[in-house]
Amino acid sequence: MAASPSDSTIRAQLEGAGVPYSIPESADFNQLLSNYSGNHQNRKPGIITVPETYQHVEAIVAACVAAKAEIVVRGGGHDIFGRSTVADAVTVDLRKLNSVTVSENHETAHVGGGATAEQVLEALASKGLQVPVGSCGTVGYAGWCLVGGLGPYIHSYGLGADQIVGAKVVNAEGKLVVADDKMLKGLRGGGANLGVVVELTVKAYPLQDVQAGMLMFDSTDLSKAVTTFLTNYEKLFGEGKNVPSQIYPMPFIFAVPGLGITLCCCVIWNGTATDESRAWVDDVGKLAPLMPGTPEPQTAITTMKALDFSRQLTAMLPPQMLGGRPQSASLTRLTPSAIAGLANVAANMPKSSTGGINMHVVREDCPSCSDNVPDSVCPYREAHIMIELLGVGPDEEIGKEAAEWSMAARNELMGLEEATKKTYIAVTSPECLDVESVYGEKLAELKKLKKEYDPHGFFKNALPRLVD
């Protein structure tokens, strides 16, 4: 019989090992419980542990295994569906395991399992290094790598999963192990299904300038603006085009205060400013008419570091995503019918929404789409477009309307001929996540690794969920 997390035996073991923890009666419990998607009082855990060392994690896992208590791991806590919060479970909150150190040859970095992308960039900048990250600085870096790792630097360096060269993991026996090649294969794209990842070793790259900023397009007629922009986008960046690896344009549509729902595009050039970079920035600025009164491309796109740009993007997002329900879709190409579908779902977005539409485009020139990649179960090695449909609002009523829109938009886009069921795990709602379609032939191998390293399904609450 499974023990409750509040069982005195579990708590006694935690106290004996010096593991800091909080229970619902503790003064700091609600603060620890709160994450990017809210507080989730309806599924609060029995204990939130806050390990400060790898030995603490070993003690937590060992105590839970002995008591057959359910466990769930929180890294950055940025999951938009709150999947790091499980009712009556023991939460392993890794946020204090956020150290970042550099190898002697400065070719790799050792990143704690609870470090955020911004913390990693900040620590490495002082060492003259950087790593690829996603588009939000508060996302847990390890978790981002483990489920694939899309972001604005993928064409320069590859997916986050392909940065992983080593890992330290607390396994299902409560023992710290150094991942062997077989485990690393499962960690690259398979999430944290094989244990609690307390440290990743990832590739590091020389620190350099980036050219980055945001362009805003005339959205008086939003549907027309989206159609014009994406049609020209496909002509400029589509299949077979010779595109520099440094550039990553990231289109998004969201509610701008005072302007309403607006088509924008972040432009990132990973490197110093050159005549080539300026020409490409200008080309993006010509994809559709710019919004009157907004900066021209060469003014809007400025020189900064990856850390600065990460902070800029994070500041554009709400500190918490409350009310509503995000969804996602995935397309193979921006064909005329796909563009028409995107224009339609954009036009139907609730005017009071605080969310929007983000597009993450993986081009065929991404290093992770080549044959020269590390062994992995990562399913995102083909050119595609991942679309986030952030159906959220500032309150419950608007959130409900936004959630209805995001589901309808998801269904419309996933019904297109260009749709692929290989959606991005991190932003696919649990009820829509089809792991068989996502992983395809790789799923059998991932499940085999799961059975080998976690034979009793102890880490069943990992993302993606592989066992009931």
* DSSP state, residue 161: G
Let me know whether 303 and 328 are in one domain: yes
Answer for the pair 390, 358: CB distance below 8 angstroms, yes or no: yes
The domain that holds 231 is classified in CATH as 3.40.462.20
Identify which of 126, 124, 120 has the alpha carbon closest to the alpha carbon of residue 138.
Answer: 120
* Cα separation, 386 vs 118, whole angstroms: 23
Using 50, 70 and 90 to split pLDDT, how confident is the model at 4? low
Answer for the pair 98, 116: CB distance below 8 angstroms, yes or no: yes
Backbone angles phi, psi at 178, to 5 degrees: -90, 125
* Cα separation, 274 vs 199, whole angstroms: 37
In which domain, by residue range, is 41 found?
A: 8-93
Is the pLDDT assigned to residue 266 strictly greater than 80? yes
What pLDDT shows up at residue 3?
53
Is 388 inside a domain boundary? yes
Let me know whether 85 and 114 are in one domain: no
The domain that holds 191 is classified in CATH as 3.30.465.10
| Total number of domains in the chain | 3
Let me know whether 74 and 217 are in one domain: no
Using 50, 70 and 90 to split pLDDT, how confident is the model at 5? low
pLDDT 10s digits, 54-79? 999 999 999 999 999 999 999 999 99
Identify which of 394, 305, 412, 317 has the alpha carbon closest to the alpha carbon of residue 353.
Answer: 394
Let me know whether 276 and 397 are in one domain: yes
Let me know whether 72 and 110 are in one domain: no
What pLDDT shows up at residue 2?
53
Using 50, 70 and 90 to split pLDDT, how confident is the model at 39? confident
pLDDT 10s digits, 180-232? 999 999 999 999 999 999 999 999 999 999 999 999 999 999 999 999 999 99
pLDDT 10s digits, 420-454? 999 999 999 999 999 999 999 999 999 999 999 99
What pLDDT shows up at residue 46?
95
Q: Which of 93, 117, 147 is the last residue of a domain?
A: 93
What mean pLDDT is predicted for residues 257-264? 92
Let me know whether 433 and 399 are in one domain: yes
* Token code pair at residue 456: 């009793």
The domain that holds 67 is classified in CATH as 3.30.43.10
Q: b/e map of 58-82 (b: 16 or more CB within 10 Å)?
A: bbbbbbbbebebbbbbbbbbbbbbb
Q: Centre a 10 Å sphere on the Cβ of residue 329 and count the other Cβ atoms it contains.
A: 31
Using 50, 70 and 90 to split pLDDT, how confident is the model at 158? very high
DSSP E strand boundaries for 89-175: 90-93, 100-102, 108-112, 129-130, 164-170
Let me know whether 413 and 361 are in one domain: yes
Let me know whether 182 and 71 are in one domain: no
Is 466 inside a domain boundary? no
* Cα separation, 262 vs 226, whole angstroms: 10
Let me know whether 412 and 265 are in one domain: yes
Is 423 inside a domain boundary? yes
Using 50, 70 and 90 to split pLDDT, how confident is the model at 140? very high
Is 451 inside a domain boundary? no
Is 456 inside a domain boundary? no
- Percent residues over pLDDT 90 in the chain: 89
Is the pLDDT assigned to residue 6 strictly greater than 80? no
Of 100-109, 278-287, 318-327, 380-389, the range with the lowest mean pLDDT is: 318-327
Answer for the pair 357, 390: CB distance below 8 angstroms, yes or no: yes
What pLDDT shows up at residue 1?
41
Let me know whether 316 and 413 are in one domain: yes
Q: Is the pTM of this model over 0.85?
A: yes
What pLDDT shows up at residue 323?
77
Q: Which of 93, 120, 142 is the last residue of a domain?
A: 93
Q: Which of 207, 240, 263 is the last residue of a domain?
A: 207
**Count of H-run helices and E-run strands, the chain:** 15, 18
What pLDDT shows up at residue 217?
98
The whole-chain average pLDDT of the chain stands at 95
Is 76 inside a domain boundary? yes
Let me know whether 152 and 280 are in one domain: no
Let me know whether 186 and 257 are in one domain: no
